[in-house]
Chain A
């Protein structure tokens, strides 16, 4: 083991960055308007877990652009389709992420977007069906570098 080479020096530097960023994330305000937004969307009704699957990386290296892919189980016919899907992030300065609106002409209740996550947090999806029933799902994402500037 000789002198520290460039790669090791880089890794060391990275470690320090992680150490200095983490306490900041832990101190950040954990609660935002996520609960209110969900309540407004559901009208206070309880959403059942299920029907929704969404893909998010478990660890997002760059919070500035985190790929999010949604699928909701639904036949997507004129009688039975997914109307709206709300996405909120409970650790961002503002909880709102996006509301996706489908129609029977969508064919499938599937969509992909790219989102910003300021810190490690939960992303929550709530789907509203054409018959008014509600479904929900949540995922935790670890964020290495936050994506809201600052």
Chain B
């Protein structure tokens, strides 16, 4: 999970505007169903949780299962009432968390 997550959202929005946010993080999302060359099952290792907060208030989050494709892509919306910072977090099965932040300004 060394790669930086990719996040796409507008730099500014009008007050009350609903914007679309696209996120993608590189991860194998090992399902736990596959077997290695020796026939031993490969243990499950996935991103099991994603969350997005805006100015420390929850916007959107999701619990993910092994049925999510590798390099999980998540797209959702957010209503902008004030300028501030989005905080994104991806939680791995091993407990590590990858975070990212994006700022958004209000259009004059």
Contacts and interface: CB of A to CB of B under 8 A. Distances in A.
Interface residues on A, range: 20 to 34
Interface of A: 64-66, 76, 89, 92-94, 96-108, 110-117, 147-150
Interface of B is mostly: strand
Given A148-B33, A150-B33, A106 B76 contact: yes
Interface residues on B, range: 20 to 34
Interface of B: 18-19, 31, 33-35, 54, 57-70, 72-79
A21 B7 CA distance: 38
Contacts of B77: 106-108, 110-111
A115 B66 CA distance: 9
A101 B74 contact: no
B28 to A, nearest CB: 11
A140 to B, nearest CB: 16
A105 B80 CA distance: 8
Given A110-B77, A111-B60, A116-B67, A105 B54 contact: yes
Contact of A112 (B31, B34, B58, B75): B75
